[in-house]
Chain A
Amino acid sequence: QSALTQPASVSGSPGQSITISCTGTSSDIGGYEYVSWYQQHPGKAPQLIIYDDTWRPLEFSSRFSASKSGNTASLTISGLQAEDEADYYCSSYTNKNSLVFGGGTHVTVL
């Protein structure tokens, strides 16, 4: 199972919005409503920020939102803040009863 494709890095200024893409295939992203997104700060465990394509856990900021079109999922961070600087990973269930992650995107707040 090949990893999902994410840009290596994305940057933005405080207050701006940025979007991270995650591209897979009809065997994973496009075939199910099981895309999730994770935030990981250096030296820390990942934290779930989006599940089931677009749902956000109640405890996570509403500045994070997600969407999906075909085989590509996207994560948008609005009102970018310094604490949003981290690595972001997408993940999807696949038709082989497995899970697959994207390569990760480093977000830099300028």
Chain B
Amino acid sequence: QVQLVESGGGLVRPGGSLRLSCAASRFTLTDYFMSWIRQAPGKGLEWISYISSNGRATYYADSVQGRITISRDTAKNSLLLQMNSLRAEDTAIYYCARMKMIRDVILTYAMDVWGQGTTVTVSS
């Protein structure tokens, strides 16, 4: 079964750094655009970043631009999110998601496979 499993969340102090991982199963990460989405406690979904299938293009939400970097570890078939200069408002569940392709070539900008999420808490 196609699956995504996030890890790396935890408690970090303001100004600190954290690296999240998302391991993909039953599909090859580099065949798809991949995205990170977060959800603050009791709040809605917020898209924060995506990376193109060839890894050459990355895009970020204004709220995290300059503080986070999305990348892939192709050997481990994993998506990564390096987060620096963390703030209290970055506290959230972080989901990785696969962006749906039609007939393997047409990108839909919709997320069809989601991980279970990993929780990041930024607090002193």
Contact present for B115 and A1 (CB under 8 Å): no
Contact present for B45 and A46 (CB under 8 Å): yes
Contact present for B46 and A98 (CB under 8 Å): no
Contact present for A48 and B110 (CB under 8 Å): yes
Residue of B108, B112, B115 with most chain A CB atoms under a 10 A cut-off: B108
Contact present for A99 and B47 (CB under 8 Å): yes
Instruction: Say how far A9's CB is from chain B's closest CB, in angstroms.
Output: 13
- A60-99 at interface with B (beta carbon < 8 Å): 87, 89, 91-93, 97-99
Query: How far does the alpha carbon of A60 sit from the alpha carbon of B112 in the complex, in Å?
Result: 12
B45 interface neighbour in A47, A50, A104, Cβ under 8 Å: A104
- CB closest chain-A residue, reference B117: A45
- B20-74 at interface with A (beta carbon < 8 Å): 35, 37, 44-47, 50, 59-62
* Residue ranges of B at the interface with A (Cβ–Cβ < 8 Å): 35, 37, 44-47, 50, 59-62, 95, 100, 108-112, 114-117
Across the A-B interface, give the 7 residue pairs with the lowest CB-CB distance, nearest first.
A51-B110, A36-B110, A99-B47, A104-B44, A45-B114, A93-B109, A34-B109
List, sorted by A's number, 24 A–B pairs whose CB atoms are closer than 8 Å: A34-B108, A34-B109, A36-B108, A38-B111, A40-B45, A45-B95, A45-B116, A45-B117, A46-B45, A46-B95, A46-B111, A48-B112, A51-B108, A51-B110, A57-B112, A87-B44, A89-B44, A91-B45, A91-B47, A91-B109, A92-B109, A101-B37, A101-B47, A102-B44
**Other than the known A38-B45, A45-B116, A51-B112, what 8 A-B pairs have Cβ atoms closer than 8 Å?**
A38-B111, A45-B114, A46-B111, A47-B114, A98-B59, A99-B109, A101-B44, A103-B44
